[in-house]
Amino acid sequence: MDSTVYSHVKVLWDYMHMNMPLQKADCIVGFGCYNEEIATRAAELYHAGWAPKILFSGGLGRNTQQMWTRSEAERFADIALAQGVPQADILIENRSTNTGENILFTKEMLAGTGVNRIIGIHKPFMERRLYAAMKVYWPEMDCIVTSPQEDIETYIRLSEAQGIDEKRVIEILAGDFQRIDVYAKKGYQIPQPIPDSAWAAFHALAALGYTAELIG
Tell me the per-residue pLDDT of 140-187, one tens digit each, with 9 for 90 and over: 999 999 999 999 999 999 999 988 999 999 999 999 999 999 999 999
pLDDT recorded at residue 93: 95
Q: In what order do the strands lie in the sheet with 117-121?
A: 90-93, 54-57, 27-31, 117-121, 142-146
pLDDT recorded at residue 68: 63
pLDDT recorded at residue 175: 97
pLDDT recorded at residue 5: 97
- pTM value is 0.93
Please, what is the angle between helix 166-186 and helix 3-16, to 10°?
40
End-to-end CA distance of the chain: 27
Identity of the residue numbered 36 = E
Nearest by Cα to 109 from 90, 126, 122, 127 = 90
What does the alpha-carbon distance between residue 35 and residue 33 come to, in Å, rounded to a whole number? 6
- Collapsed DSSP state (helix, strand, coil) of residue 73: helix
What does the alpha-carbon distance between residue 68 and residue 60 come to, in Å, rounded to a whole number? 8
pLDDT recorded at residue 61: 66
pLDDT recorded at residue 166: 96
What does the alpha-carbon distance between residue 97 and residue 90 come to, in Å, rounded to a whole number? 20
What does the alpha-carbon distance between residue 179 and residue 128 come to, in Å, rounded to a whole number? 11
Which segments of the chain have a pLDDT < 70? 61-65, 68
Q: Which helix (H) or strand (E) element contains residue 79? A: helix 72-82
pLDDT recorded at residue 63: 61
